[in-house]
A and B are shown apart, each in its own frame.
Chain A
């Protein structure tokens, strides 16, 4: 299960990376992450929610990924991927792993992702009165 969102920044990937990893400028109210695999941090997000995060992968200019979880909730994987394009850098965020990462990832690779699958299922479900 995954949620994917993206934005295009008018910057080269290196500059976009600097902006992305400066979490306090866009993601957190308080709390930062050391940019090395295994680093842990307590994040307070801008909407007041808190997350305990563990860095998974750091590839400057390309990918920052971390697992995070709210208190008493299962962890999800957040991958922030940077892709250089003609007029800037596309920043793609994928949050996944709601149903257990291994299954999830296999599924993401096999198809267009979860959102459309869910919507199709719901469409089918509505054919039958509950």
Chain B
């Protein structure tokens, strides 16, 4: 199983600790506007906006614009997909390592099927 585009976007978005911190703050309800978020984290408001754009592109947050205010909320569905994908990759390695264990149990000289 290899990562499709949506998973890649989610992984790329979450590869940065600032973006993870932003998402956590938004999801927990601590803050939801770029100004509030910039006050919470040691980064400029401009940097916050850049990071939020990336999170929005990965569909991890949703922006609601009302007048001059932009409020963000977390939309966790793509996170679930990414976790599902990682779980599947892990399950594949479980199967492969189990096959390695069986091959070793059969003994080194024997390359026959299980």
Interface residues of A (CB under 8 A from B): 1, 3, 5-7, 9-11, 15-16, 18-20, 22, 24-27, 46-47, 49, 69-70, 73-74, 76, 91, 93, 95, 98-100, 103-104, 107, 110, 114-115, 117-122, 124-128, 130
Q: How far is the CA of A110 from the CA of B1 in the complex (A)?
A: 27
Interface segment, one of B33-41, B42-50, B79-87: B79-87
User: Which residues of B1-60 have CB atoms within 8 Å of chain A's CB atoms?
Assistant: 1-4, 7-8, 11-12, 14-17, 20, 23-24, 26-29
Output the nearest chain B residue to A123 by Cβ-Cβ distance.
B27
Q: How many of B's residues come within 8 Å of A, CB to CB?
A: 46
Per DSSP, chain B at the interface is: helix
What residue in chain A is nearest B9 (Cβ atoms)?
Answer: A99
Residue ID in chain A nearest B77 by CB atoms: A130
Are A26's CB and B80's CB within 8 A? no
Q: A103-B15, A118-B83 are in contact. Are A124 and B100 (CB under 8 A)?
A: no
